[in-house]
Amino acid sequence: MSMDRSDVHHAADTGEDHPHPKHELGYYAKRIYAIRDLLIEKGVITQDDIQRQIDYQEARSPANGAQLVARAWADPAFKKRLIDDPKATCAEMGIDATSINEFVVLENTERVRHLVVCTLCSCYPRPILGRPPDWYKSLNYRSRAVNDPRGVMREFGQELPDEVEIRVHDSTADMRYLVLPLRPRGTEGMSEAELAKLVTRDSMIGVVDPLAPQ
């Protein structure tokens, strides 16, 4: 997700040197530039406020979550703390989760898998995982994850036997859910950095298990 900051900064002022001419922007795209300029002119927010939010979001990525998961796999005491007090435990790892109201970690086991959705909106643990993927926000995922979780998982390449219980969480309120995936077999002795590479974004939403070691 690359982003030329200078372009956002000056996008409303100059249409040159941009791959997509500004006049081709859609109705709402034009309006956000207008809203931005008016809010700054009226002193409601500043360009710095906006830039700070861009920088904050760019610093968030599934790598943060993967770091938490790998540490939890490697260190049982850390895992316990992560489940008991996720926000404080994030701070311990230098991950700022203070903007989340409440943060809940759902631990997968051999018998149980969790899947997270927000049917009413698109709530997502952004401070931990960054902006949500397009599919998570899609109307089809929001419609089907609650009553066809196994079908959705199958589309992502995961087929689970009936004996494994699926627990879908619809995050309708202020709780933000992160799935702590099951540590793959054959990873004994791997370092935290190696383990973190197996932890995909989708495995922390719960549609699939983490990658298998090579």
Partner 1 sequence: MEGPRFKPGERVRVRAEDRPGHIRTPFYVRGKTGWIERVYGDFLNPESLAYGKDGLPEKTLYLVGFDQKEVWGQYLAGSQDKLFVDIYDHWLEPA
Partner 2 sequence: MARRHHDMGGLPAGPVDQTEHALSDWEILADAVNQALGEKKIKRTDEMRRAREDMDSELYRSLSYYERWIASMETILTEKKILTREEIDRKVAAFEKKWGEP
Residue 189 beta carbon to partner 2: minimum distance, rounded to whole angstroms: 33
Query: What residues have CB less than 8 Å from 87, skipping those under 6 apart?
Result: 97, 98, 100, 103
Residue 44 beta carbon to partner 2: minimum distance, rounded to whole angstroms: 6
Q: Could you tell me which residues are beta bridge partners of residue 107? A: 180
Kindly state whether residue 125 participates in binding partner 1, applying the rule CB under 8 A: no
Kindly state whether residue 84 participates in binding partner 1, applying the rule CB under 8 A: no
- The C-alpha angle 174, 175, 176, rounded to 5 degrees, equals 115
Residue 173 tokens read as: 């309120």
Active site residue 90: no
Site string for partner 1, 2-41 (x = CB under 8 A): ----------------------------------------
What is the b/e burial string over 65-89, where b = at least 16 CB atoms within 10 angstroms of the residue's CB? bbbbbbbbbbeeebbebbeeebbeb
Residue 53 tokens read as: 């939010």
The beta-strand segments (E) located in the chain are: 102-107, 112-117, 165-170, 175-180
Interface with partner 1 (CB under 8 A), residue from 29, 38, 45, 120? 120
Q: Quick one: 180 or 198, whose CB is closer to partner 1?
A: 180
Residue 35 beta carbon to partner 2: minimum distance, rounded to whole angstroms: 6
Interface with partner 1 (CB under 8 A), residue from 62, 125, 127, 149? 149
Residue 179 beta carbon to partner 2: minimum distance, rounded to whole angstroms: 17
Active site residue 123: yes
By the 8 A CB rule, do 171 and 177 touch?
Answer: yes
Site string for partner 2, 36-65 (x = CB under 8 A): xxxx--x-xx---xxxxxx-xx--------
* In the block, residue with structure tokens 């992560």: 82
Annotated catalytic residue within 90, 123, 171, 203? 123
Residues that bind partner 1 (CB under 8 A): 101-102, 119-120, 146-150, 160, 162, 164-175
